[in-house]
């Protein structure tokens, strides 16, 4: 079976281009998709997409013309840099350009040092090249932000490896001129960055006003969706974990895009992005607390909860319309504050009445009766509305501009980044091994075009290992490269030989570049469009000294295609990013965090706990790419559950540290923490003991709450009781994910058969 398995792995990248699917794919690209009545980006593009394609085409051709005018030896790199920098919005371009320039400078320095250190030692050179590219991917993984192509802090490290590959591999053949080669490549890249930045800025009008409007619109849309989700959670709609995880993912992605809107705004309005980010953070906490609240809501809730829930739903349903008007927004903000205060007053007055009636041994009026579960849920509801009030306050600042006072606004919202060191090591190794093997192939075969093959493998391993699905993205990139090879063959063999002036060459390249630019504006074709526009100038190789012939073309196209195929194959072979592996690693990290928090080894803010859980869910959702099965659902549910458990542990730590509770109850909470730290430590620990310990603690708190006559202590007991009930429910509902000894453990860790690994 081993030869057949290797053959299947070898041919795996070509499965998606089966001849039976070719007609449907071509029709989907050029006409109307068979499953949708909407035209694609090529048939009826809007003005924004068409403007982006035309503007970037003009910039790339201008960079190519200037490079030819200066008689540089490889002008295609200037054209390629423009397409690497160009983005759909001005903010994204401004965010990417300086990081690409940083990566170019750093990569140039390392390339000169590497080529000068090992001029006649090919093995050491290849080992150093692979090690540096792996190191850059390791550092890129630790950069703040998501693992996506729009994370331009990561792109800075990717550009470092890209520049290192294209300079050092060419310079190693002529180490005496390494400095000249490095300066030439740096000139191309700098020229492309400057031209794209200058030309794109010319076509931007009213950028500050449009950025502020877009920021308000996106923030309002997120808050509206959050209000609807919280309403459903308060109504205790069943099976909302999928909707909650998807919403938290969208919320995190919206927060990551705020920095690009900030770059488009004036300096006086820069803090508006900070307010928007703070508003989304409060919304994220409110949704998480609403999910925790659903655990302690019971169908037979006491008298005060139905009226409080009805009031909360009315206020949340009024939020979308209030966000459209400053007057209604101020009124709703006051209503949110009043509701939170009213629920606190209701709890205090009812508990005072109960304690007075118990002291005087008199019957309690039905209207003032408040059950323990009512206190718990009213406190949870108050926490939700306090977070939403905070979000509305930040949104009010965001919607109240322009105004003079905004110049004195110094608000900053600090972001804590979740860093996965294990993933960073895996990404570094995933880049190191392919480059090392490609260099070994070049040395072993003495292939004349092996340096080009190694260079393209280095480029692929610099750009894509940090993504969540590197094999799938590189596979799509290979399809775009095949199309670029076909188009470049037509241009190089039939069109360019008949053209002499640059103007005719630019005219011949305009239509293909616009075609590729439109593909880059489509979410489904963006990777293929990137490959087409990046590799088309490399395959054409425009030059002042001569024209491309068949031998040079095939000696360039063949290493490129083989490097693409080799990269896809290696991404599937070296530490593959498969859903079952991601689920297993995510589960291990969750249990490790639970052990650290329970054993007092680590303390942090609630927002960082939620942000870490959301980051993990985002990676899992990106890897599975919309394909869900029982394992994925269990992992998502368990990740949400672990976030609630970590928040619960933080509340228990706070209850212990304040010393408000009686010593007997504090010892019960310490025992709960000890049991939580024990069952997550290693296989063989007793999960059932942890659940029983929490149940006994709940029983103990229930008995003590009845006889407690101190108001502040009684409220603390009820709040802690709500946390314990939530933790008990989460442990009971997610044992398959959390218990290392559960019978379902084997099912959780088995590979998912319904999902094709990426």
Task: Tell me the pLDDT tens digit for each residue of 169-209.
Answer: 999 988 888 898 999 889 989 999 999 888 887 877 777 78
Write phi, then psi, for 448 (nearest 5 degrees).
-60, -35
pLDDT reported for residue 714 = 82
> Own/partner pairs for 704-713, CB < 8 Å, 24+ apart?
704/662, 704/664, 704/665, 705/372, 709/355, 709/358, 709/359, 711/348, 711/351, 711/352, 711/355, 712/660, 713/660, 713/661, 713/662
Alpha-carbon torsion angle 212, 215, 219, 222, nearest 10? 150
How many domains are contained in the chain? 3
215 & 200 share domain: no
402 & 274 share domain: yes
In a domain, 12, yes or no: no
At which of 345, 378, 408 does a domain end? 408
Distance of alpha carbon 244 from its chain centroid, rounded?
16
In a domain, 15, yes or no: no
569 & 476 share domain: yes
616 & 725 share domain: yes
Rounded Cα gap, residues 25 and 62, in angstroms = 33
83 with 534: CB under 8 angstroms? yes
CA distances from 630 to 161, 337, 637, 750 (A): 39, 42, 10, 11
Q: Does residue 556 carry a pLDDT above 60?
A: yes
275 with 397: CB under 8 angstroms? yes
123 & 234 share domain: no
Residue given tokens 């407690």 in the structure block? 708
Q: Grade residue 460 by pLDDT with cuts at 50, 70 and 90.
A: very high
In a domain, 160, yes or no: yes
More confident residue, 680 or 629: 629
Q: Does residue 315 carry a pLDDT above 80?
A: yes
Residue given tokens 């794209």 in the structure block? 196
Q: Grade residue 9 by pLDDT with cuts at 50, 70 and 90.
A: very low
Q: CATH no. for residue 619?
A: 1.20.58
Q: Grade residue 753 by pLDDT with cuts at 50, 70 and 90.
A: very low
Task: Tell me the pLDDT tens digit for each residue of 461-493.
Answer: 999 998 888 888 888 888 899 999 999 888 888
CA nearest neighbour of 436 among 669, 656, 130: 130
Q: 145-149, 431-435, 520-524, 657-661: lowest mean pLDDT where?
A: 145-149
At which of 545, 573, 601 does a domain end? 573
In a domain, 246, yes or no: yes
Q: Does residue 35 carry a pLDDT above 70?
A: no
Residue 673's domain comprises: 579-749
CA nearest neighbour of 133 among 463, 469, 628, 365: 463
394 & 435 share domain: no
Task: Record the pTM.
Answer: 0.84
Q: Grade residue 27 by pLDDT with cuts at 50, 70 and 90.
A: very low
In a domain, 510, yes or no: yes
More confident residue, 386 or 144: 386
In a domain, 36, yes or no: no
Q: Does residue 567 carry a pLDDT above 90?
A: yes
249 & 287 share domain: yes
Q: Does residue 598 carry a pLDDT above 80?
A: yes
In a domain, 34, yes or no: no
In a domain, 28, yes or no: no
Q: What is the mean pLDDT of residues 130-144?
A: 93
Rounded Cα gap, residues 191 and 750, in angstroms = 51
228 & 263 share domain: yes
Neighbour-count burial of 581, counting CB atoms closer than 10 A to its CB (0-12 exposed, 13-18 middle, 19+ buried): middle
CA distances from 191 to 65, 144, 164, 186, 194 (A): 11, 28, 18, 8, 5
Share of the chain above pLDDT 90, in %: 25
Q: 296-310, 592-606, 666-680, 722-736: lowest mean pLDDT where?
A: 296-310
443 & 346 share domain: no
Q: CATH no. for residue 230?
A: 1.20.58.220
Q: Grade residue 685 by pLDDT with cuts at 50, 70 and 90.
A: low
340 & 229 share domain: yes
155 & 235 share domain: no
At which of 529, 549, 573 does a domain end? 573
565 & 584 share domain: no
Share of the chain above pLDDT 70, in %: 83
pLDDT reported for residue 346 = 77
């Amino acid at each position: 079976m081993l030869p057949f398995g290797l053959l299947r792995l070898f041919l795996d990248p070509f499965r998606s281009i089966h001849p039976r699917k070719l007609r449907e794919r071509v029709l989907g690209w050029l006409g109307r998709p068979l499953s949708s009545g909407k035209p694609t980006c090529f048939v009826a593009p809007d003005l924004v997409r068409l403007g982006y394609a035309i503007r970037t085409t003009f910039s790339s051709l201008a960079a190519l013309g200037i490079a030819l005018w200066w008689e540089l030896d490889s002008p295609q790199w200037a054209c390629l840099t423009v397409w690497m920098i160009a983005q759909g919005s001005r903010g994204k371009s401004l965010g990417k350009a300086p990081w690409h320039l940083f990566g170019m400078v750093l990569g140039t320095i390392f390339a000169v040092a590497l080529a000068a250190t090992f001029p006649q030692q090919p093995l050491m050179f290849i080992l150093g090249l692979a090690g540096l590219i792996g190191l850059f991917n390791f550092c890129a993984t630790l950069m703040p932000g998501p693992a996506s192509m729009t994370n331009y802090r990561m792109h800075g490290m990717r550009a470092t490896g890209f520049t290192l590959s294209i300079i050092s591999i060419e310079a190693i053949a002529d180490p005496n001129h390494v400095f000249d080669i490095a300066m030439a490549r740096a000139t191309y890249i700098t020229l492309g960055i400057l031209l794209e930045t200058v030309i794109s800025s010319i076509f931007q009008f009213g950028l500050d006003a449009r950025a502020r409007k877009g920021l308000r619109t996106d923030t309002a849309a997120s808050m509206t969706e959050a209000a609807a989700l919280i309403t459903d959670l308060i109504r205790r709609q069943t099976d909302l974990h999928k909707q909650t995880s998807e919403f938290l993912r969208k919320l995190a992605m919206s927060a990551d895009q705020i920095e690009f809107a900030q770059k488009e705004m004036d300096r006086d309005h820069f803090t508006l992005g900070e307010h928007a980010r703070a508003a989304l953070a409060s919304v994220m906490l409110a949704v998480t607390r609403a999910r925790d609240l659903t655990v302690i809501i019971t169908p037979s809730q006491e008298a005060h909860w139905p009226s409080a829930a009805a009031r909360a739903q009315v206020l949340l349903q009024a939020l979308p319309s209030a966000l459209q008007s400053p007057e209604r927004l101020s009124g709703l903000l006051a209503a949110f504050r009043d509701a939170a205060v009213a629920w606190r007053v209701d709890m205090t007055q009812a508990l005072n009445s109960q304690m007075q009636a118990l002291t005087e041994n008199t019957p309690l009026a039905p209207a003032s009766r408040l059950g323990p579960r009512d206190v718990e849920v009213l406190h949870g509801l108050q926490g939700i509305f306090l977070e939403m009030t905070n979000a509305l306050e930040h949104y009010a600042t965001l919607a109240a501009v322009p105004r003079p006072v905004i110049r004195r606004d110094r608000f900053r919202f600090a972001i804590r980044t979740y860093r996965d060191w294990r993933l960073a090591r895996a990404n570094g190794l995933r880049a190191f091994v392919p480059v090392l093997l490609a260099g070994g192939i070049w040395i072993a075969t003495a292939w004349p075009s092996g340096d080009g093959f190694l260079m393209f493998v280095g480029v692929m391993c610099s750009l894509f290992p940090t993504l969540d699905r590197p094999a799938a993205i590189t596979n799509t990139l290979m399809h775009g490269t095949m199309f670029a090879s076909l188009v470049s063959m037509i241009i190089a063999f039939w069109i360019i030989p008949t053209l002499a002036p640059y103007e005719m060459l630019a005219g011949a390249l305009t239509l293909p570049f616009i075609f590729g630019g439109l593909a880059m504006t489509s979410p489904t074709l963006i990777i293929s469009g990137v490959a087409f526009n990046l590799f088309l100038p490399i395959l054409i190789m425009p030059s002042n000294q001569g024209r491309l012939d068949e031998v040079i073309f095939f000696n360039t196209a063949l290493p490129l295609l083989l490097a693409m195929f080799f990269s896809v194959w290696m991404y599937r072979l070296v530490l593959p990013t498969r859903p079952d592996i991601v689920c297993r690693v995510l589960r291990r990290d969750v249990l490790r965090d639970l052990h650290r928090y329970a054993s007092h080894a680590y303390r942090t803010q609630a927002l960082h706990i939620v942000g870490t859980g959301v980051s993990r869910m985002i990676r899992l959702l990106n890897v599975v790419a919309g394909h869900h099965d029982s394992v994925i659902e269990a992992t998502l549910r368990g990740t949400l559950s672990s976030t609630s458990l970590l928040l619960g542990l933080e509340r228990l730590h706070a209850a212990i540290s304040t010393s408000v509770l009686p010593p007997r109850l504090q010892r019960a909470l310490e025992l709960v923490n000890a049991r939580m730290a024990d069952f997550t430590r290693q296989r063989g620990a007793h999960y059932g003991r942890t659940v029983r310990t929490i149940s006994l603690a709940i029983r103990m708190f229930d008995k003590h709450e009845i006889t407690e006559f101190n108001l502040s202590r009684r409220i603390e007991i009820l709040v802690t009781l709500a946390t314990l009930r939530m933790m008990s429910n989460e442990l009971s509902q997610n044992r398959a994910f959390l218990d290392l000894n559960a019978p379902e453990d084997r099912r959780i860790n088995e590979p998912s058969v319904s999902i094709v690994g990426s």
